[in-house]
Structure 1
Amino acid sequence: MREDTVSPLVLSRTASRPRAAVLTLHGGRADGLGAPPRWNLPALRMVPFTRAITSATEGEGVVVGSVRYRRRGWNGSRADAARDALRALYDLADLVGDVPVVLMGHSMGGRAALRVAGHPLVRAVVGLAPWCPGGEPVTQLAARRVVLLHGNRDRVTDPLATHALAARAREAGAEAGALTVQGGDHAMLRRAGLWQALATASVTGLLGLGPLPEMVAGVLHV
């Protein structure tokens, strides 16, 4: 089977009358052209977040899914994770129509989510310890809402770069903010309960299903 015939979109819940959708994007490597392994730790890290969102949006007509990467890494200008995320969004549109989408991505998945936020369905992005190297484009974030969470004990991706990207996104016309998870690490194991609570409440708040956490609302600026 040709690679481009396999959709990267994996749905964990559908809805008979979809009103919105959430897609989660796990992390990966800077480089790696091989397929992700069957035992994929970055993907497993997102499982409790996906389950929490599925539970929090029960009965609200929210479709929940994830992006299954066909390559393990970002791979420079190939931006494989972003390519798969964009394909997943188009496949989602074919399945559920024109519904607002919130993307939630960790690490490389955060970078992919931010990169494809210009898709017409995307209304908001929640980035968890996102990979935000210098020079990342931000014009596609105009008119989007962007919540970035980063632990101050992260030794893999740079918290300061995340705050810098949020500032540039605001200049580009986004409602964007970055929040420091005190004591949080890259794997989101330290203060795991806080990570999940903030991420889940941010998603439901951005969907209009409840209020945003006060600490998140406090950092969102245009």
Structure 2
Amino acid sequence: MTVRSRSAASPALVVRHGAEAPAGAVLLLHGGREDGLEAPPLLNLPALRMRPFAGALGRAARGRPVLVAEGRYRHRGWNGARADAARDAETALAGLRARFGAIPVVLVGHSMGGRAALAVAGDRAVLGVVALAPWCPRGEPVAHLAGRRLHLLHDEADRVTAAGDSWEFVRRAREAGADATGIPMPSGGHAMLRSAGLWHRRVTELALETLASAPA
């Protein structure tokens, strides 16, 4: 089942797998750029990079009332104080709520999408975040993450975003009351192409375990 919705004020929300009446959802948020007000191109490589994760999650959740969806952005970049990717992630969460009700959600975000996921994880629907090679600038807010389950996966050889920033974010999030874990990955770099199967398996396990932790 694939459903797309787009307006001038909201990103697309693409449903990749799931039941008509889901009991929970995994929302994937792809990467982008630090700056860029232009719309993402039709051949959107950061979005395509998340497609195998959607497939792995869909296969693992087969037979369960779990929805797997992907968010889309209006702009390619974060764009400073505009935080466009985070605003679009909020809109995607609102779209899930409007279509499927108040179901629990786990966010899976890569790079800029990881930053967006962590930024909006205070939403009442969000149980936790699985962040992949996330962009975690020093000083990012963490107070809103109390009670959330966070898993930050990073290859320390990543030359685009810094694993050390992820581990520092985990430390600060724990102090704020989050159940936060940093997971060093043995390879994959930023694009997660080497050992891709390992990344897919770990993300699938962590996302579905977190979703299963929702109160009945």
Confirm or deny a common fold (TM above 0.5): yes
| Counterpart among 32, 36, 55 of residue 40 in structure 2 | 36
| Counterpart among 9, 16, 25 of residue 29 in structure 2 | 25
Number of matched pairs: 208
Contact 2:11/2:73 (CA < 8 Å) preserved in 1? no
* Partner deviation per Cα, 1:23-79 (whole Å, 9 max, x = no partner): 000000000000001111111111101110011111111111111101000000000
Distance in 1, matches of 2:47 and 2:203, equals 16
| 5+ residue gaps, structure 2 | 1-5
Q: Give structure 1 regions of 4+ aligned residues with deviation exceeding 6 angstroms.
A: none
* Partner deviation per Cα, 1:177-222 (whole Å, 9 max, x = no partner): 101002230000122121111111111111228xxxxxxxxxxxxx
RMSD: 1.4
Contact 2:192/2:199 (CA < 8 Å) preserved in 1? yes
Q: Which residue of 2 aligns with 1:159?
A: 163
1:110 aligns with 2:114: yes
Contact 2:40/2:76 (CA < 8 Å) preserved in 1? yes
Q: Which residue of 2 aligns with 1:3?
A: 8
Q: Which residue of 2 aligns with 1:121?
A: 125
| Counterpart among 176, 188, 191 of residue 192 in structure 2 | 188
Give the TM-score normalised by structure 2. Answer: 0.93
| 5+ residue gaps, structure 1 | 210-222
Pair 191,13 (structure 1): closer, same or farther in 2 beyond 3 Å: closer
Contact 1:154/1:185 (CA < 8 Å) preserved in 2? yes
Could you tell me which amino acid in structure 2 is paired with residue 45 of structure 1?
Answer: R
Q: CA deviation at 1:8?
A: 3.0
Q: Secondary structure at the match of 1:104?
A: strand
Pair 58,2 (structure 1): closer, same or farther in 2 beyond 3 Å: closer
Q: CA deviation at 1:16?
A: 2.7
Q: In percent, how many aligned pairs have the same letter?
A: 54
Give the TM-score normalised by structure 1. Answer: 0.90
Q: CA deviation at 1:81?
A: 0.3
